[in-house]
Structure 1
Amino acid sequence: MSSYKNTLQYLYELERFGIRMGLECIDVILKSLGNPHLKYPVIHIGGTNGKGSTSVMLASVLQEAGCKVGLYTSPHLLKFNERIRVNGEEITDRKIVEMTERIRNRSQESEVRSQKNSKLKTQNSKLASTTFFEFTTAMAFLHFAEEHVDIAVIEVGLGGRLDATNVCKPLVSVITNVSKEHEEILGKGIRNIALEQTGIIKENGILLTGASQPSVLKVFNETCRGRNAKIYRFKILRPATRDPRLFGFHGKKWRLDKLKTNLLRRHQYKNAGLALFALEMIGKKGFKITEDAVRTGLENVRLQGRLQIVSIEPTIVLDSAHNPAGAKVLRDSLLKEFCYKKLILVVGIMADKDIKGFLSNIAPIVDLVILTKPNTPRAAKEDVLTSAAKPFAKRIKLIKNVKNAYRFAKSIAKKQDLICVTGSFYTVGEVLSNLKV
């Protein structure tokens, strides 16, 4: 049997196949494994931002209600295992090794059979170039089936229509919101992105959304009519106090006040509301969710890399915002939730992101922008970052790796200053793994 280290090396090497939009390959893999994704009910979570937070909240409340819950999210911050969890427990190193070998073997067996059957040859040849996300999605579906989960919460990777997770048959589909991101893949403009995200809406299904743009809602309504699906627009949650962790939820069934989450971002009440709305809906499908489960489940939620405070004096905040909409939310949170004298931003972002849009939304409030490059081939190059930051930043400093950038920020910060590390999960993850630097 391979080692865990060698297995991860194999999985990460699959990233050379890039992003493939389509369901043919994942269909072949899952069929060879006995279609594990069809053996339990699913809540499918899409949208531009807030997918991860909404997914984790859902899973936490369901677990508190007594369900055995599978949770699949991406990307990870510190360790691959974070992506696949059952009742909060990460998949083990041993199980990752064993499942990787099994999926590889099934793929090879399918390829051998295809050599004897010309009809299968084209279909199964796709297995030879399985992408990283397709492979890990298959692993998650298989793990949940073998763990006999009662329900799984599945986060969309990219878009929706052609995302590898879109082979599931959800009880409820959730689209948190829609903003511009990955336009080179999903299409230019909000309308095209919304069209891609509607791919997770199923025939006779249920869509819950927190989107508010008229053009987006028009796309959603048209799609739901065409698929005989019901759409519910979430607009009934309200903050209860000035404390961003307290809020109330008035839904179709529940009227809950003084709910609490330990997540600091003020907008998290919207993600919590979508999660509770989805829980109301699956309550009609036989899942019994009590008020106590809701309250305790929400309070138990902990999310690394989402406005996470890791130090005081100076205050150091880690946030995985990585697109213009996320940068705007982060900016508002920093202005409203923190007091500081100077703000130092450490930012490393991926080359395929809207770097200029991201920096335009946050750099103007920053005293010093430290540009850096996380350890991944996807990271934007220094000259690209510098060019994008110049129109918006008061001061810029370029430091080539995250560890040194973070160390420099700490060395110049005074007790009353604020350091914010952001731009990508990769950047935040590197800081989390080196918190003593």
Structure 2
Amino acid sequence: MDALADPDLPDYDWFYARTRNGRTRGPEVARALLDAQGSPDAAFTSVRVVGTNGKGSTCAMLEAGLISAGVPAGRFTSPHLIRFEERVRVNGQEVAPARVAAFIRLARRESWDGAFFDLSLLLACTVFAETGVRVAVMEAGVGGVSDATQALHNVSAVALTNVALDHVGVLGATVAQIARDKALAARPGVPLLTTASGEALEVIRDVCEEQNAPLYTPTTHPTLFALPHAPALLGAHQHSNAALALATLRLLGYEAGAEAALAAPHPARLEQFGLEGKTVLIDGAHNPHATHALAAAVPRADVLLFGNLARKDTAATLAPLLAVAPVRVFTAPGDLATSPQELAEQYGGEGIHDSARALARALALTPAGGTLLVAGSLYLAGSVCEWLSSGFTEPSDG
């Protein structure tokens, strides 16, 4: 059926095709789109969440805390695991496909010149304004000052999770360069909270002084970042994300939502499934910083199912996980993936291009009572979560 003929069916083929492809990165295009549509982002305040890893978990905790505190809340995140609608939520509910379809039809009819992320941000802001959102949690895509979310008006706080080497072709080749791009999300008079450390924190401190932005860290404000207990999300790295979320809620006057924030779930972040007496742990770790944290949280598994995108630093991303599992199955989570056969030859294991078949093989190799760890890509994590949630069966040869 033609998507344009069905008012409830979004034309995602058109939407996803709006890639950058040489388009200008940065907030200018997003700001022009927002202004042309009446500046919907002026109708609510935004909490921007930036950083290398942990943004999604921090956003989930902030959203849960705001809702629990009685605040009409929106959440804009990326990428999605299964459905595009996951990216735009109001009071914990995903945007309706029919609303997305209407937005895409309008964008096509009006020939809006924006990349996929710019248009997604416009959609989120429009929906938030329409539905009376008071505070929106807005996750940056890549970077800080160079990200489209830099265009937002009414930013009440910036939460910066951490800084590590990722997107080096866009943000810079060193931690210091990447930290500066992210830290420049800071605005005069707007608090910037961070759990970053080391060299990155030094850069963040300098940028906040330049921008006249108040800086809050666990060292400068220990009570603000204090955790009453561990969060529901597993892994020591989630303690930092939880501390950042709670500090942000407290600073903005929403400490009433602290317990709900700590209890917040987030899919594909050490998400656990049980299948025929076996445990499957799924995590979207897709860069070296994230896989180091994952290896610390899961020091031992029986089998590793790994696949990543070729544009990532595959060797450094995989390295921390090699000691976790002695048996490995490599797969391709998309057309731009690193060759699973090459990975199998280099690191030992089996290479199976089709991810569903790779999952079936990895499960078969996992002993009764054993653990299968899935990592390397949010795309792979999302697919495996969807398959296991719906009752996974091994693909037939037909």
TM-score between both structures, scaled by the size of structure 2 = 0.91
Aligned residue runs from structure 1 range 281-360, under 5 A:
281-283=251-253, 288-290=254-256, 293-299=257-263, 301-311=264-274, 313-335=277-299, 343-360=302-319
Structure 2: which amino acid aligns with 1:263?
Answer: L
Provide the secondary structure at the position in 2 that maps to 1:179: coil
The question of 1:382 aligning with 2:374 is answered: no
Q: Distance in 2 between matches of 1:19 and 1:432?
A: 33
Aligned residue runs from structure 1 range 171-250, under 5 A:
171-213=156-198, 215-235=199-219
Q: Which consecutive residues of structure 2, in runs of 5 or more, have no partner in the other structure?
A: 394-398
Assess if the C-alpha contact under 8 Å between 1:322 and 1:424 holds in 2: yes
The question of 1:134 aligning with 2:118 is answered: yes
RMSD after superposition: 2.1
Assess if the C-alpha contact under 8 Å between 1:346 and 1:420 holds in 2: yes
Structure 1: which amino acid aligns with 2:269?
Answer: R
Report what 1:364 is aligned to.
323
Assess if the C-alpha contact under 8 Å between 2:329 and 2:358 holds in 1: yes
Structure 2: which amino acid aligns with 1:321?
Answer: A
Q: Distance in 1 between matches of 2:296 and 2:350?
A: 24
Assess if the C-alpha contact under 8 Å between 1:45 and 1:153 holds in 2: yes
Assess if the C-alpha contact under 8 Å between 1:59 and 1:71 holds in 2: yes
Report what 1:42 is aligned to.
46
Provide the secondary structure at the position in 1 that maps to 2:320: helix
Divergent runs of 4+, >6 A: none
Provide the secondary structure at the position in 1 that maps to 2:387: coil
| Cα distance, 1:332 vs structure 2 | 0.9
Deviations along 1:6-48, one digit per CA (max 9) or x if unpaired, are 5111111213737742222212211111111122111100000
Assess if the C-alpha contact under 8 Å between 1:63 and 1:297 holds in 2: no
Assess if the C-alpha contact under 8 Å between 2:227 and 2:242 holds in 1: no
Structure 1: which amino acid aligns with 2:93?
Answer: E
Assess if the C-alpha contact under 8 Å between 2:246 and 2:261 holds in 1: no
Provide the secondary structure at the position in 1 that maps to 2:273: strand
Q: Distance in 2 between matches of 1:429 and 1:19?
A: 28
Number of residues of Structure 1 aligned to a counterpart in Structure 2: 384
Report what 1:277 is aligned to.
247
Q: Distance in 2 between matches of 1:430 and 1:177?
A: 27
Structure 1: which amino acid aligns with 2:27?
Answer: L
Assess if the C-alpha contact under 8 Å between 2:282 and 2:374 holds in 1: yes
The question of 1:373 aligning with 2:332 is answered: yes
Provide the secondary structure at the position in 1 that maps to 2:285: coil
Q: Which consecutive residues of structure 1, in runs of 5 or more, have no partner in the other structure?
A: 109-126, 238-249
Q: Distance in 2 between matches of 1:256 and 1:226?
A: 30
Q: Distance in 1 between matches of 2:214 and 2:274?
A: 46
Report what 1:398 is aligned to.
351
Report what 1:117 is aligned to.
none
Deviations along 1:113-153, one digit per CA (max 9) or x if unpaired, are xxxxxxxxxxxxxx1xx211111111111111111101000
The question of 1:145 aligning with 2:109 is answered: no
Q: Distance in 2 between matches of 1:139 and 1:273?
A: 30
Aligned residue runs from structure 1 range 72-151, under 5 A:
72-107=76-111, 127=113, 130-151=114-135
Structure 1: which amino acid aligns with 2:248?
Answer: A
Provide the secondary structure at the position in 2 that maps to 1:311: strand
Q: Distance in 2 between matches of 1:175 and 1:302?
A: 20
Q: Distance in 1 between matches of 2:226 and 2:18?
A: 47
Assess if the C-alpha contact under 8 Å between 1:36 and 1:141 holds in 2: yes
Assess if the C-alpha contact under 8 Å between 2:30 and 2:122 holds in 1: yes
Q: Distance in 1 between matches of 2:367 and 2:343?
A: 26
Worse-matched range after superposition: 38-47 or 5-14? 5-14
| Cα distance, 1:100 vs structure 2 | 1.6
Structure 1: which amino acid aligns with 2:270?
Answer: L
Deviations along 1:189-242, one digit per CA (max 9) or x if unpaired, are 1011001101211122211111111x22221122111111111112489xxxxx
Assess if the C-alpha contact under 8 Å between 2:281 and 2:372 holds in 1: yes
The question of 1:428 aligning with 2:357 is answered: no
| Cα distance, 1:377 vs structure 2 | 3.1
Rg larger in 1 or in 2? 1
| Cα distance, 1:383 vs structure 2 | 5.4
Deviations along 1:85-107, one digit per CA (max 9) or x if unpaired, are 01110000110011122233344
Structure 2: which amino acid aligns with 1:367?
Answer: P
Worse-matched range after superposition: 14-23 or 181-190? 14-23
**Shift in alpha-carbon separation, 1:200–1:137, aligned structure 2, 3 A:** same
Report what 2:234 is aligned to.
264
The question of 1:55 aligning with 2:98 is answered: no
Q: Distance in 1 between matches of 2:260 and 2:29?
A: 40
Report what 1:251 is aligned to.
223
Provide the secondary structure at the position in 1 that maps to 2:259: helix
Structure 2: which amino acid aligns with 1:316?
Answer: V
